[in-house]
Amino acid sequence: MTPRLTLRTEIVPVHTTHPFVIARGGASEWRTVTVRVRDADGAEGWGEAAPSRFYGETPESVVAAVARFQDVLGDLDPWALEDAEARMHAALRFNGAAKTGVSAALHDLAAKRLGVPLYRLWGLDPARAPLSSFTIAIAEDDDVLRSRVAEAAQYPVLKVKLGSPKGLARDERIIRIVREAAPDKVLRVDANAAWTAKGALQIGELLAALGVEFIEQPLPPHDLDGLRFVRDRSPLPIVADESCVVASDVPRLAGVVDGVNLKLAKCGGLREAMRLIATARSHGMLVMAGCMIETSLGISAAAHLAPLLDCADLDGAALLSDDPYAGATIADGVIRLSDGPGLGVTRR
């Protein structure tokens, strides 16, 4: 019997313009996985999986997971988007990037069959999207850091990665240099879980004095007591990233942090992302969306959610020197979605 859905994968190596370094390390070459879903009529939807070793995924594990999903999705009605994610969750625990690649491809397929952009299928207005920040990765050389800030001149909002292996003294110097080089820009800070509670409060006073807007994930993901301690004493709002993976994580973070950062690559699908946003809203929390190093295919899927967000950090494709896809863009920080059907993504 011919399957109603056929899933295919392709590992795609891409390169950042500069080494992208955060508290956990970095690289210049990254490998994403393109997922294609084809229905019985030959129509095709595209999605992207951006695996992270931090969440236990590699390109090879994504390929293996999608092969497993073929077994449970082959007979599925292509319109059954909620059932698709439920079947994937039942088949494999975790594997969020792999699930998102399939989920995005199915949403792309559905909107393409209707001939509308995904945001229109959801009833969203792209004009309501917030500005996207642009990330300044960790640089241990002051002149390199200044040049990175200068290269980001078009972006009014910068997200500064801290958590340098040289410690808080280097972090303090980094943020001072960035503020000196960009005196009028909105600055946000992301420590990627590198600090202690004492260190977070120590540097927090400086960050507030320099006009930083908020601090993202100052402590290790499971240290909720520490996050609450910091949040209760911090002069700046605290946003959880690594501590918040799926929607069911949100209630335990209420009162612990001020907001959450969703990423499609960790939450496991566009339906789950919608649930996460709604759950955070029900708890009165700030909602932002971030990304991994992704091509415009992955970024476009997240960008269609942008009208539902308070903040966005969708610069993964803007950091690349060889993006193989064209889709949503963030020139001048403005998230612009294609009016093409589905995710609105094409091959370059």
The domain ranges of the chain are 5-114, 120-347
- Taking domain 120-347, whether its CATH number is 3.40.950.10 is answered by no
Q: What is the pLDDT at residue 47?
A: 98
pLDDT tens across 124-172, in order?
Answer: 999 999 999 999 999 989 999 999 999 999 999 999 999 999 999 999 9
3-class DSSP state of 35 = strand
pLDDT tens across 80-98, in order?
Answer: 999 999 999 999 999 999 9
| Tokens standing for residue 193 | 């879980």
Note whether 89 and 100 are within 8 A (CB).
no
Q: What does DSSP say about strands 5-22 and 25-39: parallel, antiparallel, or unpaired? A: antiparallel
pLDDT tens across 173-217, in order?
Answer: 999 999 999 999 999 999 999 999 999 999 999 999 999 999 999
Give the confidence band of 3 by pLDDT, cuts at 50, 70, 90.
Answer: confident
Q: What is the pLDDT at residue 40?
A: 94
Query: Which own/partner pairs from 78-83 qualify as long-range (CB within 8 Å, at least 24 positions apart)?
Result: 78/4, 78/5, 78/37, 78/39, 78/106, 78/109, 78/110, 78/113, 79/110, 81/106, 81/107, 81/110, 81/270, 81/271, 82/271
pLDDT tens across 263-315, in order?
Answer: 999 999 999 999 999 999 999 999 999 999 999 999 999 999 999 999 999 99
CA dihedral 180, 182, 183, 186 (to 10 degrees): -130
Q: What is the pLDDT at residue 24?
A: 87
**How many CB atoms within 10 Å of residue 83?**
13
- Taking domain 5-114, whether its CATH number is 3.30.390.10 is answered by yes
Range 325-335 average pLDDT: 98
The mean pLDDT of the chain is 97
Q: Is the pLDDT of residue 235 over 70?
A: yes
> What pTM did the predictor assign?
0.96
Same fold, 5-114 and 120-347: no
Q: Please compute, for residue 341, the number of CA atoms within 13 A of its CA located in the half-sphere on the CB side.
A: 12
Q: Is the pLDDT of residue 253 over 60?
A: yes
Q: Is the pLDDT of residue 1 over 70?
A: no
Range 341-345 average pLDDT: 98
